[in-house]
Amino acid sequence: MIKEDGRKNNGGNKNAGRKSKAEEIKLIERLTPMADAAYDALKKGIDKGDYKFVQLFFAYYAGKPKESKDITSNGETVQTIINLGTGEE
């Protein structure tokens, strides 16, 4: 006897994924009248020196900095070398 493992129930949300261009345009049209108020609120937060407002400003203005992570194992650095397309190891 074959027991079903429930994979047929793994379908995902049917509403997941990128919104259609028409929906994006509608949302932009709804948000546009609030743009001036949003900029004013951002300016007030920056003027107060609130860290989160400054962080938000620079995240959009200059982009987020690249993240780098040091990976260690038992006190020794782990190095992974990947040779792509060379066929050499």
| pLDDT, tens digit (0-9, with 9 covering 90-100), for 62-79 | 887 777 776 666 666 656
Q: How many domains does the chain have?
A: 1
Quote the pLDDT of residue 53: 94
How far from each other are the two terminal CA atoms of the chain, in whole angstroms?
A: 47
In a domain, 1, yes or no: no
In a domain, 49, yes or no: yes
Spatial contact of 45 and 53, defined as CB atoms under 8 Å apart: yes
Query: Residue 26 sits in which domain range?
Result: 20-89
In a domain, 2, yes or no: no
In a domain, 12, yes or no: no
pLDDT 10s digits, 33-61 = 999 999 999 999 999 999 999 999 998 89
Alpha helix locations (H) across the chain? 21-31, 35-48, 51-61
Spatial contact of 29 and 21, defined as CB atoms under 8 Å apart: no
In a domain, 55, yes or no: yes
Q: How many angstroms separate the most distant Cα atoms in the chain? A: 70
SS3 at position 32 = helix
In a domain, 85, yes or no: yes
pLDDT 10s digits, 20-36 = 899 999 999 999 999 99
